[in-house]
Amino acid sequence: MNSSRLRSILAGGLLAAGLALSGCASTDSGTATVEAGAVQRGEHVDADTFRASLSDDVTILDVRTPQEFAEGHIAGAVNIDVSSPDFAQQVSELDPEGTYAVYCRSGNRSRTAMAVMQDAGLSDVFGLEGGIGALDPEDLVTD
């Protein structure tokens, strides 16, 4: 799937997510939801909110291994392996003013990655609750 098709799907998801989630706040599970379309930064969000929050201004970070990334990832995602010894160094080179959507396989590694990112001064980050498995297979591309 090319990036313009993904953006079209995401735009439709934004409308649906906004309608479905208007007036919601964070859940007890630690998964944030949206109010008036705004992502709760520093939190993990459901797949619909994650998709709806992607735009040209958001850098998508896949923090899985390069092998996992090659098996399927979100189009346009940048792969920075959180288990790599130089992960913190790679994160420190990212734009501190940027917005980052972070995901892994299940949501655990993305939580670790987000903590390192926030420690490095990247405050505008959010993660995908449930990881890549929460997405539809057609949301993914392979190398």
Look-up of token digits 């092998």: 67
The one catalytic residue among 82, 94, 104, 122: 104
d(C-alpha 48, C-alpha 73), whole Å: 16
Work out the end-to-end distance of the chain between its first and last CA atoms, rounded to an integer number of angstroms: 12
3-state secondary structure 92-121: HCCCCCCEEEEECCCCHHHHHHHHHHHHCC
Active site residue 24: no
Catalytic residues: 104
